[in-house]
Amino acid sequence: MKAGRRFALLSAVTAHALARADRAARCGPFNRAFYARVSITAVGLDELVAQQGKPSPLSRILLSEPAAEDDLRWLLRVGLLRREVDGQGLTDRVRLTPLGREVVEAWPAGETMPSADLPTRLRNRMRRLTAGV
């Protein structure tokens, strides 16, 4: 394969990965504070779960532990997040990947995240169902 064609193919794959990661982030339950925090430090599952009937400050909705884990698994799968590793192996803590940084930095400045419309939410849900997450 010629270098120019290979570069065009890689560019298309990168654009697709960015779009998929952006869609997953905008459709997910986590707010901008979550993405700001995981860009500088690891965040644990316990920080995302609702406490005493109130949503986490890092989430837009009430999340149970299984729901938060499912949402994190999807963001890991699309490449937005990665698991934190310690001396004993993988942990329940996550951080933003370089792809995730690109997605977050592309959002307009402000307190809120860009929202996803209904067709985008349905498409994201279908992708999650077909991926088994």
At 37, which amino acid appears? R
pTM given for the model: 0.86
CATH of the domain spanning 3-109+116-131, picked from 2.40.128, 1.10.3470, 3.30.70, 1.10.10: 1.10.10
Q: Which residue has the tokens 């994190």?
A: 72
pLDDT tens track, the chain, 133 positions:
565 565 555 577 788 899 999 999 999 999 999 999 999 999 999 999 988 888 899 999 999 999 999 999 999 999 999 999 887 877 889 999 999 999 999 998 887 888 899 999 999 999 999 988 7
Number of H helices, E strands in the chain: 5, 3
